[in-house]
Amino acid sequence: MDFGIDRLLADPTLLDALKDKRVALLAHPASVTADLTHSLDALIAAGVNVSAVFGPQHGVRGDLQDNMMESPDYTDPIYGMPVFSLYGEVRRPTGQSMQTFDVILIDLQDLGCRIYTYVTTLLYMLEAAAAHGKTVWVLDRPNPAGRPVEGLTLLPSWESFVGAAPMPMRHGLTLGEMGAWFIDHFKLDVDYRVIEMRGWVPGAAPGVGWPDSRVWINPSPNAANVNMARAYAGTVMLEGTTLSEGRGTTRALELFGAPDIDARAVIAQMRRIAPDWIVGCTLRDFWFQPTFHKHVAQLCSGVFIHAEGPGYDHATFRPWRLQALGFKAIRTLYPDYDLWRDFPYEYEFDKLAIDVINGGPGLRLWVDDAGTCPGDLDAAAGADEAAWIAATRPFLRY
């Protein structure tokens, strides 16, 4: 199959439309062609006049590990054009940087999750392009988490860099589709085009979201494989807790644990509370010791989430509910557990990180209230999910 970048490079008509234009590229390490050539190199080899490069969180080079680690602007050492960071001194492109191009190509591998900040960066670039009369092309890539939708909708006044708009955690769209929804939702007047993929069938096994014919490359340092991409809509919530999400191990955001929990007991409690929330995957208790980040150098009892292999079922796996259930099990087993991490998260200083991540306090309140049951969260999230599916159906391209 062909991603958007592959179709652009193979189509003389598309390349001709860029002729005599100053072209910018918004990219990261996973912005590669089918033969693993970086999109910047491939575009220049094809004769495209790339006048500027923009990098999202973690940078064009993908060298920065954690949240709130900023990338600087610099000059590309090979081609000499400016490289502007959209996760440094600014989050939104400046007026000065917007004057360096006529058309911007957005070639970002997303994970299909609202909190993954490339979604927000897409919106900010669309808004800037509308304000400055620039053209935006999204070179579309797969959503490795596929079409399933899950989570509570972000509430009004809870917008942040990890919550650009009222959507659920797992949104089910490609970036090209999301851009069209943004334009419609925010009534943006922008020249927008999607260079669609050819041959992507989001529900097709065995990849169900990610085609087996393509090599996976980390779009950010801890997005190491498709298992992580599938689990991320749940495991990302661990960033707002005192539990380790596996940073400092080789399998970050595919697990959770801590020195002072019993993972076997947690899994058993999860099965008791909501057995239908842990289907579609395999949970395995294990031990790990982070080399940095939370619980550094401490032996942790952990739960590994295998959204892969014979135990994986794409249609029934629900990572957001699964991780919420993990929190509920810990709160039930250890009522006084210091679960919620109180620290600045993505430049939000006056709200709990777990609430910023979820776009409101609903999930945390459900976890902490001993009187709530799975049906309560199911009812709230189910209504939000159904509304989002209906609202975005007109924007689906595959």
Model confidence over 101-156: pLDDT tens digits?
A: 999 999 999 999 999 999 999 999 999 999 999 999 999 999 999 999 999 999 99
Q: What is the pLDDT of residues 253-306, one digit of tens each?
A: 999 999 999 999 999 999 999 999 999 999 999 999 999 999 999 999 999 999
Per-residue pLDDT at 358 = 97
Q: How confident is the model at residue 62 (pLDDT cuts 50, 70, 90)?
A: low
CATH 3.90.1150.140 residue ranges in the chain? 226-388
Contacts 24+ apart (CB under 8 A), 6-13: 6/33, 6/34, 7/139, 7/195, 7/196, 7/197, 7/198, 8/105, 8/137, 8/139, 8/195, 9/33, 9/42, 9/43, 9/46
109 vs 63: which has the higher pLDDT: 109
68 pLDDT more than 70 = no
Q: What pTM, to 2 d.p., does this model score?
A: 0.95
What share of the chain has pLDDT > 90, as a percent? 92
* Across 197-224, average pLDDT: 94
- Count CB neighbours of 209 within 10 A: 22
Q: How confident is the model at residue 220 (pLDDT cuts 50, 70, 90)?
A: very high
| Residue indicated by tokens 């595959």 | 398
346 vs 68: which has the higher pLDDT: 346
| Cis before 156 (ω within 30) | no
CA nearest neighbour of 144 among 229, 231, 29: 229
* CATH topology (fold) of 226-388: Aspartate Aminotransferase, domain 1 (3.90.1150)
Report CA-CA distances (Å) from 210 to 4, 80, 227, 315: 14, 34, 10, 15
Per-residue pLDDT at 386 = 98
CATH 3.40.50.12170 residue ranges in the chain? 4-220
63 vs 105: which has the higher pLDDT: 105
Q: How confident is the model at residue 63 (pLDDT cuts 50, 70, 90)?
A: low
Element (H, E) at 10: helix 4-10
Q: What order do you get walking across the sheet with 300-306 strand by strand?
A: 255-258, 300-306, 282-288
Q: What is the pLDDT of residues 300-337, one digit of tens each?
A: 999 999 999 999 999 999 999 999 999 999 999 999 99
Per-residue pLDDT at 65 = 54
Q: What is the pLDDT of residues 143-185, one digit of tens each?
A: 999 999 999 999 999 999 999 999 999 999 999 999 999 999 9
What share of the chain has pLDDT > 70, as a percent? 98
Q: Is 112 helix (H, G, I), strand (E, B) or coil?
A: coil
> How far apart are alpha carbons 330 and 337 in whole angstroms?
8
Mean pLDDT of the residues in the chain: 96
What are the two backbone dihedrals, phi and then psi, of residue 45, each rounded to the nearest 5 degrees? -65, -30
Domain 4-220, architecture per CATH: 3-Layer(aba) Sandwich (3.40)
Per-residue pLDDT at 321 = 98
> How far apart are alpha carbons 141 and 163 in whole angstroms?
21
Per-residue pLDDT at 299 = 98
Alpha carbons within 13 A on the beta-carbon side of 151: 33
Q: Is 267 helix (H, G, I), strand (E, B) or coil?
A: helix
